[in-house]
């Protein structure tokens, strides 16, 4: 029962990470600007008042987060083994 809860919590965390993505803006020849997290259907705009220039998904950060949660979730999953009589 506890293992199922750990599995569902890990899967839920990964699902939320995929729904709310980290966005960045990389101008040509400029400094990378972090735009924060936003829902997958509405990417962050660099300048909400000016022209529509949207950020891109920060794939390395997203993969690092997902693998980190999977790593911790797998450790927790195997740590809560049922005790054998």
Residue 26 lies in a domain: yes
- What pLDDT, in 10s, does the model give residues 9-22? 999 999 999 999 99
Residue 44 lies in a domain: yes
Residue 18 lies in a domain: yes
Alpha-carbon dihedral 17, 45, 35, 10, rounded to 10 degrees: 0
Residue 84 lies in a domain: no
Residue 85 lies in a domain: no
C-alpha to C-alpha distances, 57 to 14, 41, 52, 77, 83, nearest whole angstrom: 16, 12, 16, 30, 43
Residue 42 lies in a domain: yes
Taking 90 as the threshold, does the pLDDT of residue 63 lie above it?
Answer: yes
Residue 64 lies in a domain: yes
Range of the domain at 25: 2-79
Q: How many domains is the chain built from?
A: 1
Residue 25 lies in a domain: yes
- What pLDDT, in 10s, does the model give residues 27-50? 888 788 888 898 988 877 777 656
């Amino acid at each position: 029962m506890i293992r199922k809860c750990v599995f569902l919590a890990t899967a839920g965390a990964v699902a939320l990470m995929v729904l709310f993505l980290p966005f960045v803006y990389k101008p040509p020849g400029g400094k990378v600007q972090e735009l924060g997290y936003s829902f997958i259907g509405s990417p962050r705009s660099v300048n909400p008042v000016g022209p529509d220039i949207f950020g891109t998904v920060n794939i390395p950060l997203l993969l690092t987060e997902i693998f980190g949660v999977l790593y911790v979730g797998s450790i927790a999953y195997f740590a809560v083994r049922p005790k054998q009589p």
